[in-house]
C-alpha cells in the first residue's frame, strides 16, 4: 500500500472514530455539560483530520481552514476539564466563575482562527510520497503556540484535579494524562515538515487510537456499559492480530506442502477475507450464544431486565419476614410453581420443608445458600434458582448490615435521650431543694408533732434528691487506702438499728483501695437497704465480711430476693422497699463501675441475701 494512501486512510479512520464516539457520548450524556464538551473535542478532531484529507485531494483553501481551526480542539478539552474537575469534593468557586465565562475561551479560539486565515498561517508543499502536505508558516506559528498553550492549561487543571480528587475520578484523570501523552507523541510528527524535517509522519498512522483511548479513559468509570464494548473491541483486535500472524505463516509455508494455489493468493486478500470472517463471527456470537442457551436450558430464560427486576424488588424488603415473602413471590412467578424460601439469621434453626426450597443461612464466614428439593426440576429452573439464590444471599448480607446500623442508631438515640434525661433530672433536683428549704423554715413555728412529721418527709425528699444527683452526675473517684474498720465504726451512729444486730468480721488493720466518700455512699446505701427489710423481723442481723483479696461482703438475714427481681436488681427505679427511691443499688453499681470493680448478689454463702463487692487494686 502506498504511504500517502495509508496516511489518508488513517486520517479518515480517525475522523470516523471521533465522530462515532462523539455522537454516542453526546447522546448518552445529554445532561452532563462536561461530556458535551468532550463530544465537541471529538468533533474538532474529526474536522482537523478532514482538513488533511482535503489538502491531500487538492482542496487547499478548505483544508487550510479546517487545519487552522485546531485551537478549538484544546478549547473544548479545557471546557471539559473545567466541568470534570469542578465536581464533588473538588468544587471551587473560582472554577464556577471560570465556567460561567467559558464563552470567552471559544471567542478567543475563533479570533486566533480568523487571524490565521487572514494572515495566511500556512502553505502547501510537496515532499516524499506527498504531493500536497500542509506546513505552518508566519502567523501559523502563533496558531500552533496558542493551541499548545491551551492544551497545557487544560492538563494543568487536570493535574490539580488529580491532587484534590480521589477514587474513580482520580483514576479517570490519570487515564486522561496517559492518553494525552500518547496523543502528543503521535501528533508531534505532523509538525516535523514545518520545521524543515521532511520525515514521513509514521506515528500519525496510529492516531485513531488516541481519541478512542481518551474518551474511554474519561467515561469508563462513569458509564459501565462502555467497558463491555471495550472488552469486545480488545478481543476483536487481539483475534485480528493473531489471525494476521497465522495467515502470514500459512502463506509462507503453503508452497512447501503442495498448496501452490494458496501460496499464490496475495496476502492482503487473505487478510481481508479472514478479517471479514472474523467480524462476521463476532457479530453472530451473541445471537448464536442465545440460541445455544435456549437449546441447553429450555423454558424460562434469564436476562438483564429480569435480574434488575429481582434486585429492585428484593431491595424493597425492610426485615427478614418481608424479604422471605418477596423472594417466594418472585421465584414462584418466574418458575411457574411454588418454591419456598428460608432465611436463617444467626442462632436460627432450619425447618423441614417439602418441595423445592432455597435456604439462606448465616455462618461465621458470611451468608451462604443451598438448594433443596431441586433434583427433579429442569436445567433452566435449576439455573434460575442458583442465580436467584446468589442474589438473595447478597441481599441478606446487605439487609443484615442495614438492620445492624439501624439498631446502632436506635441505641445511640436512646443513650442520647438518657443523657438528656440525666441532665434534666440533675437540674430539677437542684431546683427542688429551694422550695424544700422554704418549707423547712416555714415549719419551724409549728407544734412539735406536725413539725416532726414535716421534717421527716423533708429528709426523705432530700435523700431522694441526693440519690438523683448522684445517679445522674458524673462519678469520679480518687482512690487511696481506706481503713475499713474505722469507717464502719463512724457509720454505726448514723442508723436507727432498733434491736438489729450489726457486726463486722475483719482485721482491724484491713484497708481497701477506694474513694473514701464513694465507699461511704456504698455502705450507707447497702446498710440502709438491709435495715429496711430486717428491722421489723425478730432476730434481724446484718454482718460485713472482708478479705485480703479486696472482696467485701454485706450479709443480712432478711427475706430472699425473688427470682423475677434478680434480672433487673441493679436497674434504676426498681424496688420493693416501702418508701424507697429505687436508686440505691443502681448508685452502688455506678460507684463500683467507677472504681473498675463490680457488685454481685449471692445466696449461697449461708445468708438469704449477700452483696459481694470487689475493689481492684490501683495500679496507676
pLDDT at 352: 65
pLDDT > 90 in the chain, percent? 17
Q: Is residue 426 part of a domain?
A: no
Greater pLDDT, 498 or 156: 156
Q: Is residue 72 part of a domain?
A: yes
Greater pLDDT, 591 or 461: 591
pLDDT of 335 above 80: no
Which of 255, 272, 296 marks a domain boundary? 296
Instruction: Check residue 325 and report its DSSP letter.
Output: H
- State whether 213 and 253 are in the same domain: no
pLDDT at 404: 86
pTM, two decimals, is 0.45
pLDDT at 295: 62
Q: Is residue 451 part of a domain?
A: no
pLDDT at 311: 86
Residues 6+ apart with CB under 8 A from 565: 574, 576
- State whether 95 and 149 are in the same domain: yes
- State whether 276 and 313 are in the same domain: no
* Dihedral sign from CA coordinates of 590, 593, 597, 602: positive
pLDDT of 12 above 80: yes
pLDDT at 27: 79
pLDDT at 224: 47
Lowest mean pLDDT among 124-133, 313-322, 416-425, 484-493: 416-425
Q: What pLDDT digit, counting tens, does each position of 263-288 carry?
A: 677 766 766 777 777 777 767 767 77
Across residues 12-35, what is the average pLDDT? 80
DSSP letter string over 286-318?
Answer: HHHHHHHHHHHS-SS---HHHHHHHHHHHTT--
How sure is the predictor about 468, in pLDDT bands with cuts at 50, 70 and 90? low
- State whether 364 and 290 are in the same domain: no
Greater pLDDT, 311 or 460: 311
pLDDT at 177: 83
Greater pLDDT, 118 or 275: 118
Which of 268, 296, 324 marks a domain boundary? 296
Q: Is residue 446 part of a domain?
A: no
Measured CA angle at 348 (ends 345, 352), to 5 deg:
115
Q: Are 486 and 504 in contact (CB under 8 A)?
A: no
Q: Is residue 250 part of a domain?
A: yes
Q: Is residue 415 part of a domain?
A: no
Across residues 301-308, what is the average pLDDT? 73
We report the CATH number of the domain holding residue 78 as: 1.20.1070.10
Q: What CA–CA distances, in Å, run from 96 to 83, 87, 99, 235, 430?
A: 9, 10, 5, 42, 56
- State whether 177 and 262 are in the same domain: no
- State whether 10 and 140 are in the same domain: yes
Q: Are 535 and 586 in contact (CB under 8 A)?
A: no
DSSP letter string over 80-96?
Answer: HHHHHHSSGGG--HHHH
* Dihedral sign from CA coordinates of 258, 263, 269, 275: positive
Partner residues linked to 610 by β-bridges: 555, 602
* Residue where the block lists cell 446468589: 390
Which of 377, 405, 433 marks a domain boundary? 405
Q: Is residue 444 part of a domain?
A: no
We report the CATH number of the domain holding residue 501 as: 3.30.565.10
Residues of 462-500 as b/e, b for ≥16 C-beta within 10 angstroms?
Answer: bbbbbbbebbbeebebebeebebbebbeeeeeebeeeeb
Q: What pLDDT digit, counting tens, does each position of 69-88 carry?
A: 999 999 999 998 898 888 76
- State whether 108 and 196 are in the same domain: yes
pLDDT of 300 above 60: no
- State whether 84 and 216 are in the same domain: yes
- State whether 76 and 141 are in the same domain: yes
Return the C-alpha cell found at 500: 438489729
Domain count, the chain: 4
Q: What pLDDT digit, counting tens, does each position of 556-580 carry?
A: 998 888 888 887 788 776 665 555 5
Q: Is residue 109 part of a domain?
A: yes
How sure is the predictor about 446, in pLDDT bands with cuts at 50, 70 and 90? confident
pLDDT at 293: 59
pLDDT at 409: 84
Q: Are strands 501-505 and 541-546 parallel, antiparallel or unpaired?
A: parallel
Lowest mean pLDDT among 40-49, 130-139, 142-151, 167-176: 167-176
- State whether 17 and 133 are in the same domain: yes
Across residues 288-305, what is the average pLDDT? 64
Range of the domain at 192: 3-223
Q: What is the dihedral of CA 384, 387, 391, 397, to 10 degrees?
A: 120
pLDDT of 490 above 60: yes
- State whether 191 and 249 are in the same domain: no
Rounded Cα distance, 107 and 95, in Å: 19
- State whether 396 and 493 are in the same domain: no
Q: Are 232 and 216 in contact (CB under 8 A)?
A: no
pLDDT averaged over the chain? 81
Amino acid at each position: 500500500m502506498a504511504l500517502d494512501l495509508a496516511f489518508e486512510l488513517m486520517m479518515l479512520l480517525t475522523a470516523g472514530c471521533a465522530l462515532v464516539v462523539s455522537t454516542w457520548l453526546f447522546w448518552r450524556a445529554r445532561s452532563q455539560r462536561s461530556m458535551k464538551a468532550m463530544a465537541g473535542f471529538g468533533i474538532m478532531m474529526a474536522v482537523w483530520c478532514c482538513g488533511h484529507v482535503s489538502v491531500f485531494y487538492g482542496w487547499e483553501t478548505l483544508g487550510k481552514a479546517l487545519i487552522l481551526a485546531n485551537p478549538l480542539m484544546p478549547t473544548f478539552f479545557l471546557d471539559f476539564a473545567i466541568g470534570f474537575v469542578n465536581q464533588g469534593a473538588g468544587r471551587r468557586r473560582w472554577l464556577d466563575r471560570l465556567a460561567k465565562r467559558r464563552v470567552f475561551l471559544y471567542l478567543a479560539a475563533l479570533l486566533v482562527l480568523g487571524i490565521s486565515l487572514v494572515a495566511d498561517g500556512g502553505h502547501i508543499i510537496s515532499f516524499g510520497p506527498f504531493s500536497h502536505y500542509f506546513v505552518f508558516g508566519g502567523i501559523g506559528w502563533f496558531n500552533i503556540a496558542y493551541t499548545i498553550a491551551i492544551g497545557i492549561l487544560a492538563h494543568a487543571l487536570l493535574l490539580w484535579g488529580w491532587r484534590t480528587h480521589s477514587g474513580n475520578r482520580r483514576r479517570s484523570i490519570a487515564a486522561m494524562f496517559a492518553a494525552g501523552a500518547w496523543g502528543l507523541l503521535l501528533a508531534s510528527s505532523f509538525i516535523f515538515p514545518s520545521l524543515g524535517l521532511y520525515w514521513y509522519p509514521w506515528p500519525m498512522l496510529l492516531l485513531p487510537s488516541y481519541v478512542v483511548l481518551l474518551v474511554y479513559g474519561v467515561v469508563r468509570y462513569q458509564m459501565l456499559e462502555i467497558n463491555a464494548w471495550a472488552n469486545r473491541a480488545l478481543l476483536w483486535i487481539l483475534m485480528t492480530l493473531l489471525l494476521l500472524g497465522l495467515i502470514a505463516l500459512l502463506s509462507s509455508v503453503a508452497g512447501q506442502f503442495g498448496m501452490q494455489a494458496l501460496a499464490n493468493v496475495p496476502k492482503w486478500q487473505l487478510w481481508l477475507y479472514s478479517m471479514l470472517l472474523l467480524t462476521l463471527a463476532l457479530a453472530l456470537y451473541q445471537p448464536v450464544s442465545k440460541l445455544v442457551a435456549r437449546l441447553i436450558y429450555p423454558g424460562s430464560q434469564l436476562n438483564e431486565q429480569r435480574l434488575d427486576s429481582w434486585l429492585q424488588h428484593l431491595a424493597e424488603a425492610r426485615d427478614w419476614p418481608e424479604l422471605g415473602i418477596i423472594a417466594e413471590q418472585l421465584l414462584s412467578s418466574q418458575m411457574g410453581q411454588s418454591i419456598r424460601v428460608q432465611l436463617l439469621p444467626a442462632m436460627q434453626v432450619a425447618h423441614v420443608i417439602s418441595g423445592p426450597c432455597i435456604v439462606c443461612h448465616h455462618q461465621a464466614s458470611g451468608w451462604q445458600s443451598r438448594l433443596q428439593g431441586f433434583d427433579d426440576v429442569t436445567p433452566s429452573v435449576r439455573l434460575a434458582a442458583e442465580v436467584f439464590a446468589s442474589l438473595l444471599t447478597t441481599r441478606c448480607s446487605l439487609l443484615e448490615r442495614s438492620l445492624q446500623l439501624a439498631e446502632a442508631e436506635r441505641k445511640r438515640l436512646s443513650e442520647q435521650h438518657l443523657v438528656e434525661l440525666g441532665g434534666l433530672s440533675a437540674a430539677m433536683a437542684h431546683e427542688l431543694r429551694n422550695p424544700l428549704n422554704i418549707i423547712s423554715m416555714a415549719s419551724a413555728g409549728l407544734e412539735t408533732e406536725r413539725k416532726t412529721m414535716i421534717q421527716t418527709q423533708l429528709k426523705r425528699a432530700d435523700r431522694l434528691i441526693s440519690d438523683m444527683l448522684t445517679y445522674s452526675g458524673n462519678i469520679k473517684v480518687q482512690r487511696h487506702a481506706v481503713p475499713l474498720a474505722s469507717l464502719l465504726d463512724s457509720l454505726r451512729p448514723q442508723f436507727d438499728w432498733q434491736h438489729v444486730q450489726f457486726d463486722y468480721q475483719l482485721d482491724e488493720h484491713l484497708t481497701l483501695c477506694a474513694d473514701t466518700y464513694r465507699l461511704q455512699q456504698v455502705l450507707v446505701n447497702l446498710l440502709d437497704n438491709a435495715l429496711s427489710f430486717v428491722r421489723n423481723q425478730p432476730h434481724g442481723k446484718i454482718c460485713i465480711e472482708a478479705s485480703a483479696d479486696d472482696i467485701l461482703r454485706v450479709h443480712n438475714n432478711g427475706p430472699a430476693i425473688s427470682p423475677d427481681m434478680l434480672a433487673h436488681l441493679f436497674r434504676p427505679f426498681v424496688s420493693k422497699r416501702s418508701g424507697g427511691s429505687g436508686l440505691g443499688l443502681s448508685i452502688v453499681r455506678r460507684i463500683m463501675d467507677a472504681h473498675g470493680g463490680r457488685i454481685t448478689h449471692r445466696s449461697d454463702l449461708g445468708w438469704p441475701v449477700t452483696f459481694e463487692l470487689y475493689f481492684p487494686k490501683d495500679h496507676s
